[in-house]
Amino acid sequence: MTTIAYRNGILAADSRCMLGGWKATYPLPKLFRLKDGSVCGICGDYASGLAFKDWLDSDHSNPRPTLPETTVIQMTSDGVTIHEDGASFPVVTEFAAWGSGSPAANGALHMGADAVKAVQVAAMLDDSTGGDVTLMARLRT
């Protein structure tokens, strides 16, 4: 799976790729800057998340893709929106974490960690979180 953390206009994500419970030998990007300047992060089924990312980056003329076992986090200048299968909803919070390492990351965030440190803490405790940590900042408008 993955871990994505949010705090103070920053999304951070690990880069580990898991295939059938095994660690892949290559990293995967999990954060993406969209054409409108927003940032989206993918947790869960990567192919479903990429299809949804492409839909977010489109004119929405095609039907909304399904997100089975996937969460897409979208950070805009207005805040954070969570997209899950069949639903999208805003989240108003100082910090949050999603994915398999979210319990550890949320604990770190509660103790004052920034988003990157929260993902690093999750990687220490969650086998499905690892690799380099990337971050993207919210664009100011």
Q: For domain 3-129, is the CATH number 3.60.20.10?
A: yes
Mean pLDDT throughout 130-135?
97
pLDDT of res. 108: 98
The Cα–Cα gap between 105 and 102 comes to 5
Q: What is the pLDDT of residue 46?
A: 94
Q: What is the pLDDT of residue 84?
A: 95
Query: Hey, where are the domains in the chain?
Result: 3-129
Which residues have a Cβ under 8 Å from the Cβ of 36 and sit 6 or more positions away? 57, 76
Is 28 in a helix, a strand, or coil? coil
Looking at residues 6-12, what average pLDDT do you find?
97
What's the mean pLDDT in 78-106? 95
What's the pLDDT at 83? 97
- Please check the confidence at residue 141 and state whether its pLDDT lies above 70: no
Question: CA 80, CA 123: separation in Å to the nearest integer?
Answer: 23
How high is the pLDDT of residue 96? 98
Quick one: which of 45, 65, 68 has its CA closest to 55?
Answer: 65
Q: Per residue, what are the HEC states of 16-74?
A: CCEECCEECCCCCCCEEECCCCCEEEEEECHHHHHHHHHHHCCCCCCCCCCCCCEEEEE
Q: What is the pLDDT of residue 125?
A: 97
Model confidence pLDDT, tens digit, residues 15-39:
999 888 888 888 999 999 999 999 9
Question: Is residue 138 a contact partner of residue 21, using CB atoms and an 8 Å limit?
Answer: no
- Read off the pLDDT of residues 106-129 as tens digits, 9 standing for 90 and up: 999 999 999 999 999 999 999 999
Per residue in 40-62, pLDDT (tens digit) is 999 999 999 999 999 999 999 99
pLDDT of residue 20: 85
Strands 31-33 vs 22-23: parallel, antiparallel or unpaired: unpaired
